[in-house]
Each structure stands twice: as C-alpha cells, then as structure tokens.
Structure 1
Amino acid sequence: MNTEALFESLIDGILETGYGVVDSFLAPNEVVALRNRLQKRQAAGQFREAGIGRAADQSGQAAVEKAIRGDEILWLDVATVTPEESAFLERIDQFIGYVNRTCYLGLRDSELHYARYPAGTFYKRHLDRFRSDSRRRLSVVCYLNDNWQPTDGGQLAVYLPQPDGSEQTTLIEPVGGRLVCFDSGLLEHEVLPASRDRLSITGWLRTD
C-alpha cells in the first residue's frame, strides 16, 4: 500500500468507526531503528515520568500521578532529532498535508513524544483534548514493539459511543509498525497494563 493509500485508510476509519488503524505505517526496519533509538535515549537518562493535566505538554512539568498513568516520555525536538526520527516526523508532516488537502481540518503542526510503559503500568481512561485548549485535533500512536503477542497485554482500549446511548469497547493490539489515529476531543481511551515494556511514539496533530 502506498503512502497516500495508507493516509486514506486512516481517514476512512476515522469517518466510519471513530478511529483509523494501519499496520504498515512503518516498515520493519524503521520500527527497529526507532526502537533502538528509543532504548538508547532511555539508557542515557533522557526520559522523564509523564504527568497529567495542561502542563503535561512540552510547555511545563505536570504532577506525576502513578495511579492514573505510569509511562515515561521524551518529547521529540526537531533541533535534536536523529535521521530515523526526522524521517518519521516527515511522514507525519506528509499526513498532515494530506488531511488538510482532503478534509480541510487546518492542521498546523505536531506534538510528539516517545512513550515507554514499563511492565505493569497503564494510563487510565481519558480524553486527549484539554477543556482550556482545543488545539489538539487528531491523536496518533505509532507502536515500536517487537513480536508483540496478545498475551503480552498493553492494548489500547477505545470507547465508542453508540446511537442508542450504549458504548462499544474495542481493544487494539500495540503491534510494531501499526499507527492508530482518532479525534482527540471525542474518543475516550486507555492503555491497559502489559507484561513487558510497551513502546511507541505518541502525540497530537494540532490546529491554531
């Protein structure tokens, strides 16, 4: 599947079900390169415990609440990215351009970070968009895991409102190379505990 077909598949999924999933957003060699870079940065002490609330973005340090989320993160800074990280950011920029041409969302930039969930950690059910800041329009999660099995856990649970007022829960496996995209202001979701480290690049595509 070519790049634009991948992008179109994501958009179709969002329109039809509330979220889009593609399994080959990253090729296997790209997954390996980014996973190795994540692990090197983590070993070098560059990660920090993730916080919650408005200050949890790049602009500040938020309170750490391990009863709510237990991941460790590192923001991707265009000034310090490596070639494999730059290639990933460029692909996200291509997706932004495609969405703007086809859906007229007015996306301006991305805000992305590595996320490492140590075994047993989680992120309780939440919505990505802040009440006081509506810039986050689309959420993206791209997985960097190696040979992930259903028994490893760590699924992304998404909660889909139904027309009759009920709710449907869908579990998405964090398979390496897979990208998930959904509306940041509409889809509540959570990260379930895993039996081993769960790795991804996660973030938001933003408007003004």
Structure 2
Amino acid sequence: MNSLFEPIIDGILAEGYGIVDNFLTANEVSALAKRLHERREAGQFRAAGIGNQQRTVENTIRGDEILWLEEASATPEETMFLQRIGEFVEYVNRTCYLGLRDYEFHYALYPPGTFYKRHLDQFRSDSRRRLSVICYLNTDWQETDGGQLALFLPESDGSTEHELTIQPIGGRLVCFESGRLEHEVRPAGRERLSVTGWLKTA
C-alpha cells in the first residue's frame, strides 16, 4: 500500500493536504455504499451536530447524516476499510513521527441540496485531531453534481489564501491537517456519500 500512502504524505508535508485516487477499488466503493444505504434504511443514521460533543443540530451550518463506525460491530467491508486506515496510521507514524494513537470514522450522507459551511476540524478545547481523512463512495460523479470539498489554503506570507476545490469522486481519499486548513462542503445535486474521520494523537 506504500504506493498509495506516499503521495498523501508528500502532499501533506508540502502543502498541508494530500490526495490519492483509487484508495478504494470500484468494488470496494460499491460494497461500502451499499452497506451505508442498508444501515440508513435500518434507521441507524442521525442528523450530524456541531461542537465538540456534536449535540447541537444546526441545518444552516451542516446538513449531513452520519453513523459512527465501531470495530466491534463492523461488517467485512467496514473492517477492510478500517484495517487499511490502520495501515496508513502505521505508515504515517513510521515516516513522519506524528505519534498518532487512534482514529474515529463515520459514514456521511449529504442529501441533495445540503452542505457544511466553512469550519476547522480541530476543537479549541481538544487538539487530538491531527489529520482529517475523507474517502468518497460516490459512483459516476460529475462536476455538475456539485458537492465539492473546498480547502482554503494560506499563502506563504500568511496574509492571503487561495481556494482548492476537490471533486468527491468514488475511491478518492483526501487527507489534510485538522488544525490548519479550514474547509467546506458545497451543496450537491444528488446524494453525496463518504467515510469521514480523524487520525488522533494521545
């Protein structure tokens, strides 16, 4: 898997973010998307909240529905994904010495028209989130479908920034520094699916 992991790390070290396509195969994307929909139809999803405890639902800020993944109850498809993330954590610690100790991931489904306004993933009261990770589960996504991830990247002088928009193509993984890069999810014209989470220090 090093051929997948290396460009992510190279990008993070150079720019604060890394992107790699085909982190998941088409079959893996399809299997996880199917499992996501089955769990949603079973009533396991809830509206996502904001804040450290994510207890406050505010649709004017974010409109996604989520389900946290738990290793104890994971299906084979979900276990495969979490194991691959575990391999990535080991690689990052071995090559970058970040001291990552844990991770947390959830399914995220954005119904048509929903979004997540500009924000930072790391909380002021909790700095354990070191890297944010998003892996998309969308099939045949077109630019006209919207739903782009926008990263706001500071220029070297720190006084200005530029915006990078990333298409949520199935199998693509995006990883960026949780405490550094603000970002937002643009409204999508159809359901937008992903597995999203954070790699955490002690």
Scaled by the length of structure 1, the TM-score of the pair is 0.96
Amino acid at match of 1:82: T
1:1-208 maps to which residues of 2 (within 5 A)?
3-56=1-54, 62-164=55-157, 165-208=159-202
CA distance in 2, matches of 1:154, 1:16: 26
Which residues of structure 2 form unaligned runs of 5+?
Answer: none
The DSSP-based 3-state class of the residue aligned with 2:189 is: coil
CA distance in 2, matches of 1:144, 1:24: 11
Which residues of structure 1 form unaligned runs of 5+?
Answer: 57-61
Q: What do the CA deviations read for 1:94-124 (whole angstroms, capped 9, x no partner)? A: 0000000000000011110000000000000
CA distance in 2, matches of 1:67, 1:26: 32
Amino acid at match of 1:76: L
Superposed CA RMSD in Å reads 0.6
How many residues are treated as equivalent by the alignment? Answer: 201
CA distance in 2, matches of 1:172, 1:166: 20
The DSSP-based 3-state class of the residue aligned with 1:108 is: strand
CA distance in 1, matches of 2:167, 2:28: 19
Give the ranges of 4+ consecutive aligned residues of structure 1 lying more than 6 Å apart after TM superposition. none
CA distance in 1, matches of 2:198, 2:156: 27
Amino acid at match of 2:172: R
Q: What do the CA deviations read for 1:120-145 (whole angstroms, capped 9, x no partner)? A: 00000000000000100000000000
Scaled by the length of structure 2, the TM-score of the pair is 0.98
Q: What do the CA deviations read for 1:49-103 (whole angstroms, capped 9, x no partner)? A: 00000102xxxxx110000000000000111000010000000000000000000
CA distance in 2, matches of 1:13, 1:163: 15
Amino acid at match of 1:85: E
The DSSP-based 3-state class of the residue aligned with 1:169 is: strand
Amino acid at match of 1:186: R
CA distance in 1, matches of 2:156, 2:71: 42
The DSSP-based 3-state class of the residue aligned with 1:196 is: coil
CA distance in 2, matches of 1:124, 1:76: 24
CA distance in 2, matches of 1:105, 1:90: 19
Deviation (angstroms), 1:166? 1.2
Amino acid at match of 2:80: A
The DSSP-based 3-state class of the residue aligned with 1:193 is: coil
The percent of aligned pairs where both chains have the same amino acid is 67
Amino acid at match of 2:138: N
The DSSP-based 3-state class of the residue aligned with 1:181 is: strand
The DSSP-based 3-state class of the residue aligned with 2:14 is: helix
